[in-house]
Structure 1
Amino acid sequence: MDGDPAVEPELDSFSLTFPLPYRVAFIVVLAVWAWGANLQYLHLVKIDVPALIRYPGRSSPHHPPHHLSTYRFATVLSALLAFALLLFWVFTHRDPVLVVAWDWLPVTYLGLLLALLLAPLPLPLPGAFFSGRHHGSYNYNGHGHSLSHDLSGAGRSRLRSMLRRIAVGGIAEAKDGKFGDILLADVLTSYAKVLADLYVALCMFLRPDERGDGGATARPDRACGGTLVVPLVLVAPSAIRLRQCLIEYGRARRGGAGGGQHLANALKYASAFPVIIFATLQRNHAQPADGGADAHGSQEEARSYFRLWVAACVVNSLYSFYWDVAKDWDLTLFDGQALRSALSHPFGLRRRLHVGPPALYYAVIAMDLLLRCTPWAVKLSGRLGRYADAEGALFALEFLEVFRRWVWIFFRVETEWIRSTTIPPGGGPSLLSSSSGGAGGGGGLLGTIEENSVLLSDFEGGDLGKYEDED
């Protein structure tokens, strides 16, 4: 399916302009900008994201807010990407031979990008870069002006520690930042294809084809290193979340709770496995090595696997959509008629809405369903299906999934904030236990919650009233 030689026998126009390594880098840099936007908007609506993920707050008013540090880091990454891409265009002129010959340039940028994100290296920059209302450094000269700034050093260190923990399916305790681990692991499931493309680009760079003229910027070979490697990369993020759900189930059982929702959540991630398995089988049978009767039989098997793939996609998409709405966002759309139509909240939503007016929630629900179903719906479209495996189309689908996850984060974090700041019925302000929040919830102790601090950004206004967690 992906990278089918019958679709693109040579480098297409899109790949000549925007080769695979740069596409991977673009989406990674975009993720940094997107996270900054998440932090900024949620801060504006009075949702304390650092408290939810157990990230240390700013100890001085001179320190920049978290979103500003993230934007600065994204600016540096973007400037380097723009420079590397412009340099590549200057040297290659979209000539296929030169595009392949200069593959070391985008790979070098990819290596630099990964080093800036993950390596424990300080990034001191001149204080002039951070001039303005907030100083971005902890070091000042005698006149109180910033001299340098270790760009997002604490944030990058936290990212490394989280990646090390979740890489093997681990998950922190609630008091140590469990919700942050859940959030990052969920984001990785949306970046599964980006991670697979990263592997493909590096594999092609290190292992040119038999003719010796391949490379990271050649037509992507998604069988590089073997037909099973890319599927294993694709399934890894879902396997991580599956193991996290099972760990949470074990903790719930040891704590005396049922833990059934954790098993249901694990089943959601397990439903991604058949999608990848059937896609791999269909791809391997679609291009038989020889002709004749064996080729005809192989094509029949490929069609059968395609039907199974579509069925698996439908199950996974609809199950995941239900979980987004009912569990991750705690909306009442799929609850009983009485709760769904209760006068205390807009139809199908909930009492407290921080992110925006009800119309925004309805639009996001529709968008989530549409984008969940887009990848397999495109394949079924007779007109669009012919282009579904083109590199431009694959990149567009990756971009749309990253966009969907970015929107999802606003409402998932809002839900966790509501769970962690809800005043239980019949009592005053209290601290919720770490087991609150239902399946997949981070829970946690955020300190005493005052009514005004909860209501400042509620779009419904009025008094706090009672909010009962649907989970």
Structure 2
Amino acid sequence: MDGDPAVGSELDSFSLTFPLPYRVAFIVVLAVWAWGVNLHYLHLIKIDVPALIRYPGRSSPHHPPHHLSTYRFATVLTSVYAFSLLVFWAFTHRNPTLVIAWDWLPIAYLAVLLALFVVPSSFLGWVLPNKNSSSNPHHLLHLPSSGRARLRSMLKRIAVGGLAEAQDGKFGDILLADVATSYAKVLADLYVALCMFLRPDERGDGGATARPDRACGGTLVVPLVLAAPSAIRLRQCLIEYGRVRRGPLSRESGWGGQHLANALKYATAFPVIVFAALQRDRSSDDSRSYFNAWVVACAVNSLYSFYWDVAKDWDLTLFDGQALRSALSHPFGLRRRLHVGPPALYYAVIALDLLLRCTWSVKLSGRLGPYADAEGALFAVEFLEVFRRWVWIFFRVETEWIRSTSGPAAPGMNGSGGGLLGTIEENSVLLSDFEGGDLGKYEDED
């Protein structure tokens, strides 16, 4: 997709040390640690994430908290990852020939990583049949069987754009699918690594650890993989719209316009990917036209997504003119209830989100100008997007908690994710701020 030369070309220094399959695995393992930190901090500030996603609470005070179980699972993944990477370094010594010859090792780790996520605990118990509690493989490996089972069921549902009902964990499905959009490039790189492993080049010197060939399997496959997470979220938005239309029309539920606007946001990712793909193997005149269209598509996607993060996902009032004019009881552009941190933190996160939203749109298309062939630069941008999404989760979950605990009668609440005390779907105006403005929406925390 990036127009890389043949797979057998000389590897760059970064790829000699950190080949593509290990970079993919690193981001996945990092995501588990990041989720643990999300759970831990939100638990400390009294936000009950399991209740929001309809995950069963601990039946006994002797059971470890959810974040501790996540940390233990992340430790297992990290330990196996570190062992595999150290063995790879020990046998390859950054020698290009050896790096390519040992490509089976990182692929084997990816297989183990997948198994630890999705293989049922009953099967692991059969493979490692120590049945007493002290040597139970689940105890030794700290594999959270219920959490992994829940993840499997969610992945099966959202893989086809499905969405649970509010009482069955709709917010969890939305959260996971939103996270997947930030991992679109990671998923594409995973496909590239597997494709190169299964289809080495004609000279036989290619492989999963060779220079990434992002046209492997055809020029359309990688763009389709990149577009898949956004297509999943788009379908979820349309499902929510359909549910609102089939339900009784009321002031609280509205007519579903906000779900259509949200679907449009995810649709804006498609032109970014399409115009980037069309620029390749075209004449200079055609390429220039596609480039101009790509720039416009990037700007629309970045700014629309940034607006939605701030105004809809986080319920901040920065773009609400009426609320700004009457903002006497809360910090400028924010809201009254701020759980995550002081106002300065919210302002910093807003600025960071804008910056990284723009960067990610460029990366999603596979274009980084003079850095397009620098694998280290590509990896850095992927890492920054994962960091942005990690920060986003704190404020998205906080917003859902505020909506849920304020109750169905609280004016101005948008319950697009489903709440504990009832769901208020949206305002009847497509992109206007919620009824009641800021008055009565939040209460002081002092």
TM-score tier by shorter-chain length is 0.7 to 0.9
Bigger mean CA offset, 32-41 vs 336-345? 336-345
Q: Is the 8 A contact 2:120 2:149 kept in 1?
A: yes
Deviations, residues 1-24 of structure 1 (Å, cap 9, x unaligned): 625339994210000000000000
Match of 1:404 in 2: 388
Match of 2:276 in 1: 279
> 1:299, CA displacement in angstroms?
2.0
- Describe the shift of the 1:34–1:70 C-alpha distance in structure 2 as closer, same or farther (beyond 3 A): same
Match of 1:392 among 376, 383, 387: 376
- Describe the shift of the 1:95–1:406 C-alpha distance in structure 2 as closer, same or farther (beyond 3 A): same
Structure 1 CA distance for aligned equivalents of residues 233 and 214 of structure 2: 24
Deviations, residues 273-311 of structure 1 (Å, cap 9, x unaligned): 0001001111242xxxxxxxxxxxx12212221121111
Report the aligned-residue RMSD: 2.8
Match of 1:244 among 215, 231, 236: 236
Match of 1:373 in 2: 358
Match of 1:183 in 2: 175
Query: How many percent of aligned residue pairs carry the same amino acid?
Result: 80
Q: Does 1:30 align with 2:30?
A: yes
Structure 2 CA distance for aligned equivalents of residues 147 and 307 of structure 1: 56
Deviations, residues 107-147 of structure 1 (Å, cap 9, x unaligned): 000110011111213567xxxxxxxxxxxxx9867xxxx97
Structure 2 CA distance for aligned equivalents of residues 93 and 83 of structure 1: 16
Q: Is the 8 A contact 2:161 2:235 kept in 1?
A: yes
Matches within 5 A, 1:273-312: 273-285=270-282, 298-312=283-297
TM-score (norm 1): 0.82
Q: Does 1:120 align with 2:105?
A: no
Q: Secondary structure at the match of 2:201?
A: coil
Structure 2 CA distance for aligned equivalents of residues 426 and 372 of structure 1: 32
Match of 2:339 among 341, 354, 368: 354
- Describe the shift of the 1:154–1:333 C-alpha distance in structure 2 as closer, same or farther (beyond 3 A): same
- Describe the shift of the 1:81–1:3 C-alpha distance in structure 2 as closer, same or farther (beyond 3 A): farther
Structure 1 CA distance for aligned equivalents of residues 65 and 276 of structure 2: 44
Q: Secondary structure at the match of 2:280?
A: helix
Match of 2:256 in 1: 259
> 1:351, CA displacement in angstroms?
1.0
Match of 1:466 in 2: 440
Q: Is the 8 A contact 1:45 1:354 kept in 2?
A: yes
Q: Secondary structure at the match of 1:283?
A: coil
Q: Is the 8 A contact 2:5 2:213 kept in 1?
A: no
Deviations, residues 161-192 of structure 1 (Å, cap 9, x unaligned): 00000000000000000000000000000000
Q: Is the 8 A contact 1:340 1:349 kept in 2?
A: no
Match of 1:91 in 2: 91
Match of 2:311 among 326, 330, 346: 326
Q: Is the 8 A contact 1:7 1:390 kept in 2?
A: no
Q: Is the 8 A contact 2:73 2:143 kept in 1?
A: yes
Structure 1 unmatched ranges of 5 or more: 125-137, 286-297, 447-464
TM-score (norm 2): 0.87
- Describe the shift of the 1:378–1:405 C-alpha distance in structure 2 as closer, same or farther (beyond 3 A): closer
Structure 2 CA distance for aligned equivalents of residues 376 and 56 of structure 1: 37
Structure 2 CA distance for aligned equivalents of residues 278 and 333 of structure 1: 32
- Describe the shift of the 1:175–1:9 C-alpha distance in structure 2 as closer, same or farther (beyond 3 A): same
Letter in 2 for 1:467: K
Structure 1 CA distance for aligned equivalents of residues 55 and 257 of structure 2: 30
Match of 2:402 in 1: 418
> 1:316, CA displacement in angstroms?
0.2
> 1:101, CA displacement in angstroms?
0.4
- Describe the shift of the 1:377–1:200 C-alpha distance in structure 2 as closer, same or farther (beyond 3 A): closer
Match of 1:163 in 2: 155
Letter in 2 for 1:357: P
Q: Is the 8 A contact 2:158 2:232 kept in 1?
A: yes
Q: Secondary structure at the match of 2:51?
A: helix
Match of 1:203 in 2: 195
Q: Is the 8 A contact 1:42 1:48 kept in 2?
A: yes
Q: Does 1:111 align with 2:105?
A: no
Letter in 2 for 1:27: I
Q: Secondary structure at the match of 2:203?
A: coil
- Describe the shift of the 1:115–1:300 C-alpha distance in structure 2 as closer, same or farther (beyond 3 A): same
- Describe the shift of the 1:8–1:38 C-alpha distance in structure 2 as closer, same or farther (beyond 3 A): farther
Structure 2 CA distance for aligned equivalents of residues 202 and 99 of structure 1: 16
